[in-house]
Chain A
């Protein structure tokens, strides 16, 4: 069994560019990569929001109403719904004064996974264990 971890680092804030959206949707796309691999092989994406990237994780985004685009909140909820592991840097949340109760939750969609608020030291371990890193 050979499973490769791929680390997605999202460090840009939302909506000014498509960068953070692409990071999340790219990670979601890894759910279908398995069909292209040999039996026993796998890819596990790990998405980490750090720096200004944590600003993507605030709930209640009204992007469709105001910009006519799917919100990053929707993409993050879909990522949780397909059981991706998403991590949010605790120190950066605190730095920006964002409490954990303001973070996106996909429980209303039936997701079992939640955004995991972890210290940067944990994110560092994830990055260390990842074979490839993609920065958005």
Chain B
């Protein structure tokens, strides 16, 4: 299964995301999910970034929150709305929103 997960919150969705796995897994951080890609809580990156997955973060949602490219973890690719559409149609079979 090629699964893409939209992570749209900071704290409340992590338990579910941690348990999900797929042959090909992608996490797209949007809305308040962008804090997973940027915030180092107690000096540590989000544990979601330890998953065997590809990571993306939406540039518009970063900018809305006053965050910049420099804040983004190196494991995460910054994408725009057009890129997200391409990911949905070309890279993954199933899409879920958490």
Does B40 interact with chain A (Cβ within 8 Å)? yes
Instruction: Evaluate contact between B39 and A58: CB separation under 8 angstroms.
Output: no
Interface band, chain A: 20 to 34
A15-B41 in contact (CB<8A)? no
A52 close to chain B: CB less than 8 A: yes
Bound state CA distance, A14 and B60, in angstroms? Answer: 14
Check B35 for interface membership: any CB of A closer than 8 A.
yes
A102 to B66 alpha-carbon distance, docked (Å): 9
A44 within 8 A of B: no
The size of the chain B interface, using a CB distance under 8 A, is 20
Within 8 Å CB of B43, what residues of A? 97
Asked if A15 meets B35 with Cβ closer than 8 Å, knowing A96-B41, A97-B40, A97-B41, the reply is no
Q: Does B53 contact A (CB under 8 A)?
A: no
Is A61 in contact with B61, judged by CB distance below 8 angstroms? no
B-contacting residues, A48-62, CB 8 Å: 52, 55, 58-62
With a cutoff of 8 Å between Cβ atoms, the chain A residues found around residue B42 in the complex are 95
Is B14 an interface residue, CB under 8 A from the partner?
A: no
| Interchain CB contact under 8 A, B66 and A96 | no
Digit string of A86-110 for contact with B (CB within 8 Å is 1, else 0)?
A: 0000000001111000100000000
Note all chain B residues with C-beta closer than 8 A to A13: 10, 32, 35
Residue of B nearest to A51 (CB): B11
In the complex the two chains form, is B63's CB within 8 Å of A65's CB?
yes
User: In the complex, what residues of B have CB within 8 A of residue A65's CB?
Assistant: 63-64
Chain B residues positioned under 8 Å from A2 (CB to CB): none
- Quick check: A61 and B32 within 8 Å, CB to CB? no
Q: Is residue A33 contacting chain B, with contact meaning CB distance below 8 A?
A: no
CB within 8 Å of B: which residues of A? 13-16, 52, 55, 58-63, 65-67, 71, 73, 95-98, 102
- Besides A55-B10, A66-B61, 18 new A-B residue pairs in contact (Cβ under 8 A), listed by A number: A13-B35, A14-B65, A15-B31, A15-B65, A16-B8, A52-B10, A52-B11, A55-B39, A55-B65, A60-B63, A60-B66, A61-B63, A61-B65, A62-B66, A63-B64, A73-B66, A97-B41, A97-B43
